[in-house]
């Protein structure tokens, strides 16, 4: 085998132009065959017969919207500055153009998505404030029911300092007859705190 390769190499060296011509003809011929007989390049992956491919095919027939792909585009202004209204208008125009492309089902506008997130954050903050106020009213009502002799100013101070949550966990009212007795969560007797007197 080594003698055959030696003779081939020696012939190629002796006939360099013929060797180069043969290689060029082969490359051009392979390029023409690939262009005429080969399939065009695609980003789609298909592995026939696999479970994954069967699921993709089934999605394509039952839920066509779920069978397609998705892409992400990152928008960034130059210099790291916030987007100007002109840049935003240009981006929204591009989004509208993309929405008209065949086979595009949906284009998400990041500006609208961010506005919705901002509204949700504001709504959550308002709900948290309302919830906190409701919890404070509940704590005040529980303390008033458990300790009718408690000073209202002491109850307000208790809630304002954030001790109401501790009090709410520590004491559970139990009523026996006309008098109110308090018991802790573990069943121990609980006395009226001094700042409520």
- What are the pLDDT digits (tens) for 76-109? 777 778 888 888 888 888 888 888 888 777 888 8
With beta carbons less than 8 A apart as the criterion, state whether 79 and 114 touch: no
- What are the pLDDT digits (tens) for 31-80? 888 888 877 777 777 777 888 878 877 877 887 766 666 778 888 777 77
- Whether the per-residue pLDDT at 195 is higher than 70: the answer is no
Mean residue pLDDT across the chain = 75
Q: Where are the domains of the chain?
A: 121-196
Token readout for 139 is: 């704590």
| Three-class SS of 78-118 | HHHCCCCHHHHHHHHHHHHHHHCCCCCCCCCCHHHHHHHHH
pLDDT band at 151 (very low <50, low <70, confident <90, very high): low
Identify the weakest region by mean pLDDT among 55-64, 122-131, 162-171.
162-171
The helix or strand, by DSSP H or E, that contains position 9, with its residue range, turns out to be helix 2-14
- Whether the per-residue pLDDT at 146 is higher than 80: the answer is no
Residue with tokens 């559970």: 172
Angle, helices 110-146/85-99, rounded to nearest 10 degrees: 110
- Whether the per-residue pLDDT at 23 is higher than 90: the answer is yes
- Whether the per-residue pLDDT at 132 is higher than 50: the answer is yes
Work out whether the CA dihedral 12, 17, 20, 21 comes out positive or negative: negative
């Amino acid at each position: 085998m080594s003698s055959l390769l030696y003779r081939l190499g020696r012939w190629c060296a002796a006939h360099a132009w013929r060797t180069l011509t043969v290689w060029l003809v082969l490359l051009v011929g392979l390029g023409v065959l690939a262009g005429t007989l080969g399939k065009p390049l695609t980003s789609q992956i298909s592995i026939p017969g696999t479970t994954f491919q069967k699921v993709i095919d089934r999605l394509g027939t039952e839920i066509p919207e779920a069978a397609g792909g998705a892409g992400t585009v990152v928008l960034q202004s130059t210099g790291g500055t916030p987007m100007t209204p002109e840049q935003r208008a240009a981006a929204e125009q591009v989004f509208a153009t993309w929405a008209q492309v065949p086979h595009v089902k949906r284009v998400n506008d990041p500006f609208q998505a961010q506005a919705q997130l901002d509204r949700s954050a504001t709504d959550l903050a308002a709900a948290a404030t309302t919830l906190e106020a409701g919890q404070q009213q509940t704590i005040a009502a529980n303390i008033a029911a458990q300790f009718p002799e408690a000073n209202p100013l002491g109850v307000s101070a208790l809630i304002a300092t954030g001790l109401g949550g501790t009090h709410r966990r520590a004491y559970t009212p139990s009523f026996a007859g006309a008098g109110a007795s308090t018991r802790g969560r573990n069943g121990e007797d609980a006395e009226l705190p001094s700042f409520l007197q």
